[in-house]
């Protein structure tokens, strides 16, 4: 089944403790992207990747890192999480920017 998977789905952590949210797709898609969704602020793009080893900033990249070493994986790294990074995070992938994006199920992160 074609899908985008994210792990973990739920995470509660403390300020400053490094964490990684994994994202994997099995559709051989070139484009992958991370978004955060916050009440009142909607969906905002954090980082995106056009292909392996090609990444670029979205609208809200501060406090996040990404890497794209393999086509199928696009992990989101929070080196020193802070409470303002408490949010619902979505990973998405597509064949390219002319195609629809497939979204993962979301990761709800709480930083205390």
Partner 1 sequence: ELKVEQNPLFLSMQEGKNYTIYCNYSTTSDRLYWYRQDPGKSLESLFVLLSNGAVKQEGRLMASLDTKARLSTLHITAAVHDLSATYFCAVVRDSRGTSYGKLTFGQGTILTVHP
Q: Which residues bind to partner 1, rule: CB under 8 A?
A: 31, 33, 35, 42-45, 48-50, 56, 58-59, 90, 92, 97-106
Q: Which is nearer to partner 1, 40 or 112 (CB)?
A: 40
Distance in Å, CB of 67 to partner 1, minimum = 16
Residue 44 · residue 91 · CB < 8 Å? no
Q: Which is nearer to partner 1, 2 or 14 (CB)?
A: 2
Q: Which is nearer to partner 1, 60 or 111 (CB)?
A: 60
What is the C-alpha end-to-end distance of the chain, expressed in Å?
A: 36
In eight-state DSSP terms, residue 88 is: E
Residue 96 · residue 42 · CB < 8 Å? no
């Amino acid at each position: 089944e074609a899908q985008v998977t994210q792990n973990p789905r739920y995470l509660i952590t403390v300020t400053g403790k490094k964490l990684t949210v994994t994202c994997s797709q099995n559709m051989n898609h070139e484009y992958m992207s991370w978004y955060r969704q916050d009440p009142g602020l909607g969906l905002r793009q954090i980082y995106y990747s056009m292909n392996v080893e090609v990444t670029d900033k979205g609208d809200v990249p501060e406090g996040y890192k990404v890497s794209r070493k393999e086509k199928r994986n696009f992990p989101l790294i929070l080196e020193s999480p802070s409470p303002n990074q408490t949010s619902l995070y979505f990973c998405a992938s597509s064949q390219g920017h002319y195609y629809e994006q497939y979204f993962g199920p979301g990761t709800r992160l709480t930083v205390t």
